[in-house]
Chains A and B, each alone.
Chain A
Amino acid sequence: MRQPLDWQIASVKDIRPETASVKTFTLALPNWTAHRAGQHYDIRLTAEDGYQAQRSYSIASEPERRGEIDLTIERIEDGEVSTYMHEVLVEGDQIEVRGPIGGYFVWDASSRDQLLLIAGGSGVVPLMSMIRHRASAGASNATHLLYSSRTFDDVIYYQELEKLKSKGKGLEVFHTLTRSQPAGWSGFDRRIDEAMLKEVVKPLGKSLQAFICGPTLLVESAANTLVKIGIKPNQIRTERFGPTGTA
């Protein structure tokens, strides 16, 4: 019998750009196991001489999709694994992975929690898995995503989020663009702050569950502010990455 966390060799089924520095990789898995939304996979690269490098990447797809997963990966300038994924890997290649991993930063649609999702940059990836899972499961629990990006061109999954939002199943999406905004931009235009969080949290009840993922400073600040405006620490789950944390 297979142990769920053995390394396995996946095939790269599809690679598509999301933004200038972010791509989504669809991997077909010979030993697929349904993940929980929010979990990640490890990728291991091996050179001819046996040198290896490993990194963890969040799953972007919903667990309802059988036999394959999407990993959405940002290219980090001096990254060892992300630059390989972006510059060397092509469709049809094989790649060693293991997972799914992680049992805390996860959400199951059966729980029906009211969700507050806060993302910075590629921190949106595990939250997107939750949003897609929620849609696939036909859930209609109130779900608010607050998503901070530098510019409009850096927003990952914009069209899909718009589409899911327009279905009117309780999903609200709030964007904030911190560096520049296109003409006629009606979303937020600053870093996440107390007033913004109050506005996004307000219609949700006191029993919400918050998930925050992004760069350390954004996560620190958002989590501290949520506590300040009355959300209990045990209702807030965080996942952070530093400059090298996602390389």
Chain B
Amino acid sequence: MPEPFVSRGFTGKRRGGAEKANRIPPGQYLTEDFPVLSAGPTPRLDLKHWTFTIEGLVKEKVSWTWEEFLKLPSQSFVVDISCVTKWTHLDMKWQGVSVDTLLEHAELDRKAAFVIAFSHEGYTTNMPVADILNGQAFVAYSYDDKPLEPEHGGPARLVVPHLYFWKSAKWAAGLRFVEKDQRGFWESAGYNNHGDPWKEERYS
């Protein structure tokens, strides 16, 4: 077996916070910032026309307006987020509606095995349905006790903390349930189909 590679003279500057080290996935570094990463311009969505829809393999399509969405039972979520661009931000505080709560309003077809999260500006990202159930995903409209800013996906974004952050579709418009997997935007552009940070599933 070859010797593991060592970078001559590298000691590492950001080792601080050893007590948090077991919360940082491999290849990630801690940040206190909230970097903005998007593939195009930030859309400014008019709340008057905003909707969130659950469609595809459901008994009946369901759609909420902004006002209706705010009336759904919401929760506070404090979660660790890892972006494939290498930053990890611990204890990010969100407010939003659990996907489980949304699915109480739509009866999933038995054949629904994958979900495509889609955004108001055309972005898509795909996941197995099992990755968004049982408290694993929510639609957030508040971050750090303030309304979610457009740069960060406001008025509302999906948040799936246990997968790399590109799965947490900004400017969320809805969830489409499908039988067969379909690669989304970044999944079609060289990024991993699943995106588990602990397995370092970064690229295809």
Contacts and interface: CB of A to CB of B under 8 A. Distances in A.
Interface string A39-74: 000001111101111111000000000000000000
A88 B10 contact: yes
A243 interface: yes
B17 interface: no
Interface of B is mostly: loop
Contacts of B41: 223-224, 226-227, 233, 236, 238
Interface residues of B, number: 41
B190 A95 contact: no
A220 B41 CA distance: 7
A244 B42 contact: no
B105 to A, nearest CB: 31
Interface residues of A, number: 46
B87 to A, nearest CB: 6
A243 B33 contact: yes
Contacts of B147: none
Interface string A56-99: 10000000000000000000001010011000100001111000
Contact of A238 (B14, B29, B38, B121): B38
Given A238-B40, A241-B35, A101 B6 contact: no
Interface string B17-28: 000000000111
A237 interface: yes
A80 B31 CA distance: 12
Given A216-B36, A243-B33, A46 B203 contact: no
Contacts, number: 111
B78 interface: no
A153 B4 CA distance: 41
Contacts of B121: 233
A244 B31 contact: yes
B73 interface: no
A48 B6 contact: yes
A50 B4 CA distance: 9
A191 interface: no
B40 A236 contact: yes
A226 B33 CA distance: 27
29 contacts: A9-B5, A50-B4, A52-B26, A52-B27, A53-B29, A54-B86, A84-B9, A88-B10, A94-B8, A101-B190, A101-B203, A102-B189, A102-B190, A103-B188, A104-B39, A104-B185, A105-B39, A216-B35, A216-B151, A220-B42, A223-B40, A223-B42, A233-B43, A234-B122, A240-B36, A240-B38, A244-B31, A244-B87, A245-B37
Given A80-B29, A240-B35, A243-B33, 5 more contacts: A53-B12, A96-B7, A238-B40, A244-B33, A245-B85
